Chain A
Amino acid sequence: MNAIYPAAIQLLLEQPAAAQWPLLQRVLQQANGKPPVAWDFPIAGCLAAGGPAKAATPAVAAITCAHIAIILIDDILDDDPRGEYRTLGSGRAANLASGLGSLGQHMLEAYPCQQPSLAIAALGQMMGNTAYGQDLDVQNPHSEEGYWAVAKAKSSPYFATALSLGGLYGGADGALTEALGQFGAVFGEVMQIHDDLNDCLAEPANVDWLQGRAPLPLLFAELVPHPLQQRFVQLRSQVQDPEALREAQQILVSSGAISYCVNELLTRQRQLETSLAAMPLANPVPLQQILAQAIAPIEHLFSSVGVVR
């Protein structure tokens, strides 16, 4: 973490909304030691567009507010035992999320880029799209189409907006801002697939197994007519037993569920490479680094399995 993140938090704490609201102050102070995922995407977008990293500070602040707000709501929807709502109550947690959404927008108005209306619209659209995605997710769709609809609506907007806001603060024009957003959106899908793989392979069984949810590998093993499909469905209700979990996870490998997820990751890797090559960037290195992050787990898997691409 460089100096920009603490500076963004400090800037947030100096705003009137934070000064008058002790709970908001406390949450921001807690965030100071725990930056959200992709907190530095606005810096990457800003540098890629040719701006100095420091110029992205208001965008980092806005994205941080958005992330805290999204997690506050997500924890309520998922009944997550780590959620703030457990101590605050759902009402206050939801209200805090609303306040953070407003504070994020305020940062873009108070510390504007060259095209402030685009930045404010992007943040608002992101919050709306994510809320839509969370609502789809809470309905727990068990279809391939449903999965991708949730992934695109819930996971992509945050990463897309983090990059495109950074681009705007780095001086990007409308076309480059949109291209940065598309790059971030695909990266968001990559993150969702990685997250699903990680959860499905966890020991003991992750809540995704226990709550009947449908992350991508489990969805594949349930829907595709492989020889062990029925056995997998049986095992799914028994995964609190470590032996049953291991058998079910081995079926994820042998049925092709893991391979399918890797194929989807490779497809997105190519999309990211094509997108990166087409963008007129002042500095491509930050996006190249994001791409390398996205690819690394696949390369490690191939190495572990002993295959060479």
Chain B
Amino acid sequence: MSMHEFYTNIATQNETSEQMQVLVEVAKAELEQVLAVRSELAWDSWREAK
């Protein structure tokens, strides 16, 4: 799916798949909720692995 198609789906919420609903919720998250994952868990461990 292209970026524009994805954005159209997420902005209009025309796409009703469970996965898209979850991704809409991710877009509504606070930055801190996303950063919590980066600072505490996996994304930093990937970095260390490099």
- The answer to whether A198 touches B43 (Cβ under 8 A) is yes
- The answer to whether A263 touches B19 (Cβ under 8 A) is yes
- The answer to whether A220 touches B23 (Cβ under 8 A) is no
- The answer to whether B31 touches A37 (Cβ under 8 A) is no
Stretch at the interface among A24-32, A230-238, A254-262: A254-262
13 contacts between A and B (CB under 8 A): A194-B43, A195-B47, A201-B35, A202-B38, A219-B3, A254-B28, A258-B27, A259-B24, A260-B6, A297-B41, A297-B42, A302-B22, A304-B34
Interface residues of B in 13-42 (CB under 8 A from A): 18-19, 22-31, 33-38, 41-42
Set of chain A residues within 8 Å of B25, measured between Cβ atoms: 305-307
Chain A residues packing against B (C-beta within 8 Å): 37, 144, 191, 194-195, 197-198, 201-203, 219-220, 223-226, 246, 249-250, 253-256, 258-260, 262-263, 266-267, 296-297, 300-302, 304-307, 309
- The answer to whether B26 touches A258 (Cβ under 8 A) is yes
Return A67 CB to nearest CB of chain B, in Å: 10
Return B50 CB to nearest CB of chain A, in Å: 5
Chain B residues packing against A (C-beta within 8 Å): 1-4, 6-7, 10-11, 18-19, 22-31, 33-38, 41-44, 46-47, 49-50
Set of chain A residues within 8 Å of B24, measured between Cβ atoms: 259
Set of chain B residues within 8 Å of A266, measured between Cβ atoms: 19
Set of chain A residues within 8 Å of B30, measured between Cβ atoms: 250, 253
Return B8 CB to nearest CB of chain A, in Å: 9
Rounded to whole angstroms, the CA-CA distance of A295 and B31 in the bound complex is 21
Who on chain B is nearest to A267 by CB? B1
Q: A253-B29, A256-B11, A300-B41 are in contact. List 7 more A-B contacts (CB 8 A).
A: A201-B34, A225-B4, A255-B27, A297-B37, A301-B34, A305-B25, A309-B18
Which 6 pairs show the lowest CB-CB distances between chains A and B?
A297-B42, A259-B23, A198-B43, A224-B7, A250-B31, A305-B29
